[in-house]
Amino acid sequence: MRHINIEEIGNTQEVQQFEQIAQQYMLEMQGMTAPERKEFIRTHTDWNMLQLVMYNLSCHKCWYSEAPAGAGDFEVDHFRPKNRSKQHDGTVIKPNGYWWLAYNWKNYRLAGALVNKRRKDRFSDDEEVKGKGDYFPLDLIQGQLCQEPPNDNLNVEIPLLLDPFSIYDTTLISFDKDGTPLITAGIPDEDKFRAEISIEFYHLDMEQLNQQRTEIWRLCERELNDINDQLTQPINGQAKRLIMDRACIRLKELTAKNAPFSKVAWACINSFSQKDVFKLWLPNLITSLN
């Protein structure tokens, strides 16, 4: 998961046009019963007009998994569910969901269908159903459930799912050489739980994704070993500088915002930087990749 800058969406012409539609729809929903609202939302899916903007903003990748478009169809996910919202244990905590956010573009996240829908992993023996669906777990010990309009103060809620709009949240999950998502070492216990359930509800441990991430790790690993092999040869200072320049270019490509599963490449590089033979050059190179 890489950080998505919300301001880059808000400044687009498409969002400005959508806001006019959203305002009209909110007026039309005033006075409707809950069933009438659900039917209205079901038949008015204008949020899809923002798909291309969101798609381009993430360099054609799912906001949750960093999987490229070829990994499945993309959908505009309502971060806070629009019709019904459930706790991580399956308890329905908002029968009508956050219906008033159905046309609020700040509540939208671009998700691959394999991540967004509830389903089993077809490429593994795991029978557990995962995916986001209409789940939006909250910390109801330190926070509380917000009310519906006009008292809809979202600040009283403490969401448990990691959010790509949050820079901090995007640091809480890493990966190993097998492409398996891991909880980042050294983070607070409360964030460990958030990372754990986010891996589950975003289905980040899907075998299909693990396999694709493994390929990125191995590619990055080959690059690092190749660079190290060259640097350990008897060469002069000029040759070493040229090798480091080329290394920066190759590793920048793997960790770039538009690279698929770029956080896996970062995890690989950080892992290798702890090895003695790589400590001689890799930590200094890492600073140039940001």
Q: What is the pLDDT of residues 96-118, one digit of tens each?
A: 999 999 999 999 999 988 888 76
Domain-located, residue 264:
yes
Clarify whether residues 170 and 231 are in a common domain. no
Clarify whether residues 149 and 12 are in a common domain. yes
pLDDT at 117: 77
Q: What is the dihedral of CA 167, 6, 260, 71, to 10 degrees?
A: 120
Clarify whether residues 168 and 58 are in a common domain. yes
Kind and range of the H or E run holding 85: strand 85-86
pLDDT at 144: 95
Clarify whether residues 40 and 183 are in a common domain. yes
pLDDT at 124: 58
Clarify whether residues 49 and 29 are in a common domain. yes
Which residues partner with 68 through β-bridges?
61
Measured from the Cβ of residue 3, the count of other Cβ atoms closer than 10 Å reads 16
Clarify whether residues 193 and 228 are in a common domain. no
Domain-located, residue 78:
yes
Clarify whether residues 38 and 84 are in a common domain. yes
- Residue 235, domain extent: 209-286
Show which of 154, 177, 205 is a domain's final residue: 205
Domain count, the chain: 2
Question: Model-level pTM?
Answer: 0.91
Domain-located, residue 143:
yes
Clarify whether residues 129 and 99 are in a common domain. yes
What is the length of the chain? 290
Tens digits of residue pLDDT in 35-64: 999 999 999 999 999 999 999 999 999 999
Show which of 205, 226, 256 is a domain's final residue: 205
